[in-house]
Amino acid sequence: MHPVPVDDGGLRVDALDATPARAVVVAAAHQFPTGAVLPPDRRSRLVQWARSVGGYVVEDDYDAEFRYDRHPVAVMQGMDPARVFLLGSVSKTLSPALGLGWLVAPAALVPALRAANPVAAAPPVLDQLALAGFVDRGWYDAHLRAARRRFRARRDLLLDALAEAVPQGRPEGTAAGLHVLLHLPDGTDTRAVVRAAASAGVDVSDLDDYRVEPSPGRALVLGYGNIADADVRPAVALLSAALG
């Protein structure tokens, strides 16, 4: 594995060029955990990179449906179906318990993929048929519209609560997905904050947990997908207490 740095524009393709990698995994629509969106010029350069090295882009489209400030960004797979794999699932939009996902692969590689794991079990047929009916009748689209409204309101509530109770923090990330990155002042002991918050019943993550190499800057990853609206402000108040 060759780690590649990210910045405000997501994956740094120039740094990818400096590695011997021939396949790269990227969440172009909403990078986790920084929340960056890969801009059009980098998408184009990433596809060109795959062509130049005879490699592939594995696009993890894990929460692209939840974009709140504009229409969801189109997937990269359409830019070069022969070089880009597309991964997706209904884990974020419906439930991870369903275990339903998909891989859109370059046509030339489908036989090799099937042969590589001949014993892989397909999801239950009834579940697949139920999802197909859900999509065909337009219910899935209606569900997504309602979910976007709900999560956008919850994100706004979280940002308001942070502005009031944690003024020393700086939220970052595109208005999308189900998490916010909260930058904290230099010198903050984020490990201690995570432990103190956990002891109070609030689950947050240290950004360092997602870094391959040490990097300056203290930050917490705050998820809001699995919390009731009424619990947001009390949770932020407990986080503020954990910060001291």
Considering the domain architecture, whether residues 159 and 101 belong to the same structural domain is answered as no
Q: Using the 3D structure, point to which of 124, 159, 181 is the last residue of a domain.
A: 124
Express as a percent the part of the chain with pLDDT over 90: 81
> 16-65: per-residue pLDDT in tens?
999 999 999 999 999 999 999 999 999 999 999 999 999 999 999 988 88
Residue 76's domain is classified under what CATH number?
3.40.640.10
Considering the domain architecture, whether residues 81 and 158 belong to the same structural domain is answered as no
- Judge if pTM exceeds 0.75: yes
When pLDDT is averaged across residues 115-131 and rounded to a whole number, the result is 87
Considering the domain architecture, whether residues 10 and 120 belong to the same structural domain is answered as yes
Residue 136 within a domain: no
Structural domain tally of the chain?
Answer: 2
Half-sphere exposure of 225 (CA within 13 A, CB side): 16
Considering the domain architecture, whether residues 155 and 204 belong to the same structural domain is answered as yes
> 53-107: per-residue pLDDT in tens?
999 999 999 888 898 988 877 899 999 999 999 999 999 999 999 889 999 999 9
Considering the domain architecture, whether residues 14 and 113 belong to the same structural domain is answered as yes
Considering the domain architecture, whether residues 51 and 92 belong to the same structural domain is answered as yes
